[in-house]
Amino acid sequence: MSYPKEKSTNKQILNLAIPNILSNLSIPLLSSVDTALVGHLQGLEHLGAVAVGGMIFNFIYWGFGFLRMGTTGLTAQAFGNNNLKEIAMILGRALLIAAAIAIALLVLQVPLAALSFYLVKASPEVEVFARDYFYIRIWAAPATLGIYAIQGWFLGMQNAKYPLYMALLVNFSNILLSVLFVNYFGMQSAGVALGTVCAQYLGIVFSFFLFFNKYKEYTHHFILRHLLESKALKRFLFVNSDIFIRTICLVFVFSYFTAASAAFGDDILAANTILMQFWTILAYGIDGFAYAAESLVGKYVGANSSELLKQSITALFVWSIGMGVVFSLLFFTFDSQLLSLYTDKPDIIALAQEYIWWTIFAPLINGICFIWDGIFLGATDTVALRNSMLICTFLIFLPVFFGLKGSLGNTALWLAMTLFMVARGITLSVFAYYRIERWTD
């Protein structure tokens, strides 16, 4: 398969990255509107219910994010190899596994709720409404997981615009429906959950409309009896199991960071939570380029083009480092102004400023491992991703924190988190040095 020379690597990267960055920007907007809706209701139990319920589903769905990530890399490689049948079958397998997981979540919703509320402690008043939220929103599982699969497939097809359209439709319809159910039907926190469910089903219907609008011819290459083809299905499951382990480790580290912050006291928890928001903002920006890495690297691996692969990797790191410098300068220049957006409490702002240097330097460090994540996902070299995350979690983050927390306190936590990110970048760089030539053999 050939690629037009007039379309530069940088142009391809921006065509893929910009729509993904815009998609990411709509996520905090939705969260803010949901919070504002229930935050103006009488009493705090509805705000707590949405916070607790939302956190539970973030954990659940983050764990199944492999449906998006694994599908992108596999599809991009089939696209680069111009394997029309495999392109069609990957989408079929992704949707099949998404449906199987969704059915399991629906069938097991009662024990899942019991476990979730056992692990996530909330006041009795909050838990009553959080359970209502849970039992409504769980019915979005088939649509949510289906969206993950088809979004990953679109990205693998080098199409970042369709996922952007899907994200905009889902998030803005979610906002409108939540406003309708909460403000006009008086459904309170349950209205936010129902708004999410309805929006997710609108999103999955819209995604199939987009598919049949542009990719209808791929249905001719779909062969039902090949859906459970042993070798291909095994590869799909193997890739996704590695991504699942990697993601669980990542969830553990960030969750442990929050738990350890809370153990240091409410003030430290508040300051660390605000500073971690800056890391999240950075991730939204760099993830656009990481998604571009998944699409481009997968395509060139599939096409066995070593030259274009290396060229795209170099360009991706240039964009990542450039964006990191911009973020660092913004955090350094406007530190007090940015902190004041999150709190009006002078003592919390002053405390956060004691640790803000970790956040100022974070963009220069974190972008490296974010881009490597995208590169390895595109190459479907998920064993390296899994091993890197296991090393960095259990040999770097935890030992550093436990070894130094007695003498350094909260500084030990930030040092452990920073070294965790540095180690991710180093280990993946080492793995890439020995593996990158094999990707296009």
Helix segments in 264-397, DSSP class H: 266-302, 306-333, 335-342, 346-378, 382-391
Shared domain check, 259 and 196:
no
Mean pLDDT of 408-412: 93
Residue 232: per-residue pLDDT? 80
Shared domain check, 267 and 212:
no
Q: Would you place residue 385 in the very low, low, confident or very high pLDDT band (cuts 50, 70, 90)?
A: very high
Shared domain check, 387 and 263:
yes
Shared domain check, 311 and 224:
no
Shared domain check, 281 and 197:
no
Q: Would you place residue 28 in the very low, low, confident or very high pLDDT band (cuts 50, 70, 90)?
A: low
Is the confidence at residue 49, as pLDDT, over 90? no
Shared domain check, 295 and 167:
no
Cβ proximity of 291 and 20 under 8 Å: yes
Is the confidence at residue 151, as pLDDT, over 50? yes
Q: Would you place residue 203 in the very low, low, confident or very high pLDDT band (cuts 50, 70, 90)?
A: very high
| Residue 348 CB coordination number (10 Å) | 20
In a domain, 275, yes or no: yes
Is the confidence at residue 340, as pLDDT, over 60? yes
In a domain, 237, yes or no: no
In a domain, 2, yes or no: no
CA-to-CA separations, 1 to 91, 116, 305, 356, in angstroms, rounded: 21, 48, 10, 48
In a domain, 409, yes or no: yes
Residue 163 or residue 45, greater confidence: 163
Residue 1: per-residue pLDDT? 41
The domain boundary, picked from 199, 228, 257, lies at 228
What pTM did the predictor assign? 0.87
291 vs 434: CA distance, rounded Å: 23
Residue 267: per-residue pLDDT? 83
Residue 271: per-residue pLDDT? 83
Residue 44: per-residue pLDDT? 65
Residue 226 or residue 355, greater confidence: 355
Is the confidence at residue 157, as pLDDT, over 50? yes
Is the confidence at residue 195, as pLDDT, over 90? yes
Residue 334: per-residue pLDDT? 84
Across the chain, what does the average pLDDT equal?
A: 88
Is the confidence at residue 4, as pLDDT, over 50? no
Q: Provide, rounded to the nearest whole percent, the portion of the chain with pLDDT above 90.
A: 50
CB neighbours of 362 closer than 8 A, spacing ≥ 6? 278, 279, 282, 328, 418, 421
Residue 273: per-residue pLDDT? 78
Residue 5: per-residue pLDDT? 47
Mean pLDDT of 327-355: 83
Residue 35: per-residue pLDDT? 64
In a domain, 14, yes or no: no
The domain boundary, picked from 228, 252, 284, lies at 228
Q: At what angle do helices 346-378 and 66-80 cross, to 10 degrees?
A: 40
In a domain, 13, yes or no: no
User: 61, 39, 65, 63: which is closest to 51 by C-alpha?
Assistant: 39
Q: Provide, rounded to the nearest whole percent, the portion of the chain with pLDDT above 70.
A: 93
Read off φ and ψ for residue 230, nearest 5 degrees: -55, -55
66 vs 374: CA distance, rounded Å: 12
In a domain, 64, yes or no: yes
Shared domain check, 258 and 167:
no
The domain boundary, picked from 197, 228, 259, lies at 228
Is the confidence at residue 393, as pLDDT, over 60? yes
Lowest mean pLDDT: which of 16-30, 322-336, 364-378, 406-420?
Answer: 16-30
Highest mean pLDDT among 157-166, 277-286, 353-362: 157-166
In a domain, 6, yes or no: no
Shared domain check, 195 and 250:
no
Shared domain check, 154 and 26:
yes
Shared domain check, 195 and 103:
yes
Mean pLDDT of 278-296: 86
Shared domain check, 289 and 221:
no
Q: Can you give the residue range of the structural domain that contains 337?
A: 242-441
Total domains present in the chain: 2
User: Could you read off the pLDDT of 353-367 as tens digits, one per residue?
Assistant: 899 999 999 888 888
Shared domain check, 250 and 222:
no
